[in-house]
Amino acid sequence: MTHAFVPSSNVAALRESATIAVSARAKALRASGRPVIDLGAGEPDSSTPAFVAAAAATAVANGATRYTQVEGIQPLREAIAADATARSQLREPVSASDVVVGAGTKQALFNACFTLFGPGDEVLIPTPAWTSYYEMIALARATPVAVRGTRERDLKVDATQLREAANPRTRGLILNSPCNPTGTVYSADELGPILALAADRGWWVLSDEIYQRISFDSPAPSALDVVTSRERLVLFNGVAKAYAMTGWRIGWAIAPPEVAKTMTALQSHTTSNAATVSQHAALAALTCREQADSAIAAMVAELRRRRDAVCSLLRRAQLDFIEPGGAFYTFVRIPTESELGDGSDFARRLLEDRDVAVVPGAAFGTPDWVRLSFAAPFDEVLEGVRRLIRELS
Ligand code: PLP
């Protein structure tokens, strides 16, 4: 007798990450010989800077091959704390004991959601938003509440909308600026009233700032630039995007010490420390300032060039799209009044008929849009956008 697999109630409603699924499909088509242009990627197309890779090799040669403290090596946590303190306008410094390093920002976010939220809690998610927030909140058995941004505000939300979506069960809010999938950046003036509302209501604010150093027009503000206290704030960042280190899997949370301690306890029963060699690589990325700054500046300059070219093509085609101020995505609306179907139908056809991969907006809570990434070579990005425009017209 065979027994069918029945997933446990922990994961019964879990959906595969749509962004990763698109990437996998594009890679499979490429492997079968199709000349697919991948505008679905969620990672920089550049390589990790050579000085970082060299520091990792040296660390391994010097014996950095064993377990470390669960929360990460002290010098890395000190470097993260010093960096945050330098950026913060608050009087009390960020301390290494506020920092928990995990296997990517994704793990840090999951640990925080699991630590702070549980059954009966509601968490506001300005939408469109990165696909994993909804799932992480649901895995913690809390309820994600999508608050849809308005078109006039480039799909960002304001404090009034959040207030209207809240109720006594609301326990938290997840912010992400610059935003995946739209590339929009919240100004300090926009963040101010949102953070003031959260403080007034005692909500936890989870501020995912992984794209903070990839901004094109002016520096993207951190929640740290705006808050008056870190009592209910958890900040997230990592080396994946700005330092082109996605595969090294290092991200972190900066949280009030008792939250950091509980997140560490949780991590001690799942993965323990993030890979030791990767922690040393991240330490080099954060402390060899000049080399890191020049690598980031070069990457941002190239991304800005692509952003400008993409926006100019989309504008000329008179499409409705969000002009990104940061990250490496733009969001294009698929007019549902035509026979094109929604963003998912459109993305499927674009891949099958024109060999261009984009991510359907449904993955981010907005089915009538698609996300395209310009983290691909300049000419490929422009050719992909031209094909998208042809498919839409
Ligand atoms: N947060 C956002 C908004 C992201 O887009 C991503 C990756 O795509 C992550 C977090 C995860 O980053 P990491 O690779 O550090 O786990």
Among 80, 100, 180, which is best to mutate for testing ligand 1, by the most ligand atoms less than 8 A from CB?
180
Given the structure tokens 């997840």, which residue do they identify?
174
**Cβ–Cβ < 8 Å for 103, 239:** no
In three-state secondary structure terms, 4 is coil
Among 110, 132, 134, which is best to mutate for testing ligand 1, by the most ligand atoms less than 8 A from CB?
132
What average pLDDT does this structure show over 332-360? 85
229: Cα separation from own chain's centroid? 24
Cα–Cα distance for residue pair 218/207, rounded to 1 Å: 19
Among 176, 210, 214, which is best to mutate for testing ligand 1, by the most ligand atoms less than 8 A from CB?
210
Strand-pair partners of 236: 208, 253
Q: State in Å: Cα 17 to ligand 1 middle.
A: 12
238 lines ligand 1 (CB under 6 A): yes
Q: State in Å: Cα 20 to ligand 1 middle.
A: 12
Given the structure tokens 């000190």, which residue do they identify?
78
- pLDDT given for residue 74 in this prediction: 98
Q: How many CB atoms lie within 10 A of CB 257?
A: 11
Return the structure tokens found at 248.
């090294």
Closest atom of ligand 1 to CA, residue 327 = 5
pLDDT band at 16 (very low <50, low <70, confident <90, very high): confident
Would the pLDDT of 169 be above 90? Answer: yes
Q: State in Å: Cα 339 to ligand 1 middle.
A: 34
> Residue 363 phi/psi, 5° resolution?
-60, -20
Which pLDDT tens digit goes with each residue over 281-314? 999 999 999 999 999 999 999 999 999 999 999 9
- pLDDT given for residue 90 in this prediction: 81
Q: State in Å: Cα 219 to ligand 1 middle.
A: 19
Q: State in Å: Cα 175 to ligand 1 middle.
A: 13
- pLDDT given for residue 264 in this prediction: 98
Cα–Cα distance for residue pair 385/372, rounded to 1 Å: 9
Q: State in Å: Cα 2 to ligand 1 middle.
A: 39
Would the pLDDT of 18 be above 90? Answer: no
Return the structure tokens found at 320.
């409705």
Which pLDDT tens digit goes with each residue over 248-266? 999 999 999 999 999 999 9
Would the pLDDT of 337 be above 70? Answer: no
**Cβ–Cβ < 8 Å for 217, 187:** no
44 lines ligand 1 (CB under 6 A): no
Q: How many CB atoms lie within 10 A of CB 383?
A: 17
305: Cα separation from own chain's centroid? 22
Closest atom of ligand 1 to CA, residue 208 = 1
Would the pLDDT of 167 be above 90? Answer: yes
pLDDT band at 271 (very low <50, low <70, confident <90, very high): very high
Runs of H (alpha helix) within 273-328:
276-287, 289-316
Closest atom of ligand 1 to CA, residue 107 = 16
- Residue type (1 letter), 199: A
Would the pLDDT of 356 be above 80? Answer: yes
Residue 246 makes CB contacts below 8 A (sequence gap 6+) with: 43, 44, 240
- pLDDT given for residue 212 in this prediction: 96
Q: State in Å: Cα 1 to ligand 1 middle.
A: 43
144 lines ligand 1 (CB under 6 A): no
Rounded to whole angstroms, what are the CA distances from 246 to 47, 221, 384, 386?
A: 10, 23, 23, 28
Beta sheet of 143-148, edge-to-edge order: 99-102, 251-254, 233-238, 204-208, 170-176, 122-127, 143-148
Q: State in Å: Cα 106 to ligand 1 middle.
A: 6
- pLDDT given for residue 358 in this prediction: 95
177 lines ligand 1 (CB under 6 A): no
Cα–Cα distance for residue pair 393/390, rounded to 1 Å: 5
Q: State in Å: Cα 129 to ligand 1 middle.
A: 11
105 lines ligand 1 (CB under 6 A): yes
Give me the count of residues in the chain: 393
Q: What is the DSSP letter of 147?
A: E
Closest atom of ligand 1 to CA, residue 108 = 16
Q: State in Å: Cα 112 to ligand 1 middle.
A: 14
What average pLDDT does this structure show over 215-222? 95
Closest atom of ligand 1 to CA, residue 106 = 16
263: Cα separation from own chain's centroid? 20
Given the structure tokens 């879990």, which residue do they identify?
14
Q: State in Å: Cα 105 to ligand 1 middle.
A: 6
Closest atom of ligand 1 to CA, residue 239 = 15
Cα–Cα distance for residue pair 55/76, rounded to 1 Å: 13
Cα–Cα distance for residue pair 221/89, rounded to 1 Å: 12
240 lines ligand 1 (CB under 6 A): yes
Which pLDDT tens digit goes with each residue over 172-211? 999 999 999 999 999 999 999 999 999 999 999 999 999 9
Residue 152 makes CB contacts below 8 A (sequence gap 6+) with: none
Percent helix, strand and coil across the chain, each rounded to 5? 45, 15, 40
Whose C-alpha lies nearest to ligand 1, atom 12?
A: 105
